[in-house]
Amino acid sequence: MSFRYKNEDLENSHKTPNFNSVTKSFNLGIEAHRKTNAKQAALHARHHEDLIRQKEAEEKRKAEEAVYWESRKGWMDRFPFNPIYHPDITFDPEVYNPVGPGGPSDYTTEGQKMARMISNHGFLSAFYENSNRYSPEFEKIHDILLEEGITPDPMLCGWTFTHLVDYHKASTHDLETPWPPDPSITWGEDRMSTWKSMAGRFRTNEYRTIQVDTLPSDAEAARVRQRLIDEIAAEGFLKVNWLEKFAYDSEYEDMLKPGDPLLIK
């Protein structure tokens, strides 16, 4: 004999899950999957668009660069400077070693002469690697100096370019505020320093590879400096970063090995 429990319903003793609940859960899963796919598709689309923009920007840059270099062809063809090495003197660390102890003043007259040659070699080596020598600004510097009777050479033109970069960049700042590389001086003092140096280099043979007998007076040098500032647009100089300026470069000096030729022009 079997007994039934009170209120026991044999037909419902093993209920199955509600059909609507299962369907809802299934639909939610599908919706979540769709949202994930949509997000991934959007990310892929943005990435694809970024790649297209990057490619277009690169193509535009290359096109502008090609136009620029085509416009510079005339100056490149008539560029007046070519690397010239000393016909006899080569690097001799026994005479002067730029990575050795002491400075030029600790050496003999011959050693001090080689120290200057090595320093010039470092400047000129960097000069002939710097594409700014073909820039419109450099060309104008060269032509103005030539018109003014100041014999242009690689070092003089290069230093003048650098001074104009520094002068115009300083001019974009509040001249009363500290100069970041040395906060003890202001932007105005830095600008004045490069302003004085620009004319000062015209007045000496020290920063030339071509020595001249006649040097401009202070007044003449100042007038040429002002002409350079007034007649060559600042815009091109403002685009030059500090690594693109012309200056002495100790890396080229340190790379010298005994017997290496030394650039003199």
At which of 71, 94, 117 does a domain end? 71
At which of 71, 99, 117 does a domain end? 71
Judgement on whether residues 103 and 138 belong to the same structural domain of the protein = yes
Q: Is 117 left (phi over 0), alpha (psi -120 to 50) or beta?
A: alpha
Judgement on whether residues 85 and 189 belong to the same structural domain of the protein = yes
pLDDT at 113 over 70: yes
pLDDT grade for 210, boundaries at 50, 70 and 90: confident
Query: Which residue range(s) make up the domain with 141?
Result: 81-263
Q: What's CA 238's distance to the chain center, in Å? A: 11
pLDDT at 47 over 90: no
Question: How many domains does the chain divide into?
Answer: 2
Comparing 11-15, 153-157, 230-234, which segment has the lowest mean pLDDT? 11-15
pLDDT grade for 12, boundaries at 50, 70 and 90: low
Question: What is the dihedral angle through the alpha carbons of 165, 167, 172, 176, rounded to the nearest 10 degrees?
Answer: 150
Model pTM above 0.85: no
pLDDT at 103 over 60: yes
Residue 76 placed within a domain: no
Judgement on whether residues 55 and 94 belong to the same structural domain of the protein = no
Could you read off the pLDDT of 239-259 as tens digits, one per residue? 999 999 999 988 999 999 999
Judgement on whether residues 88 and 168 belong to the same structural domain of the protein = yes
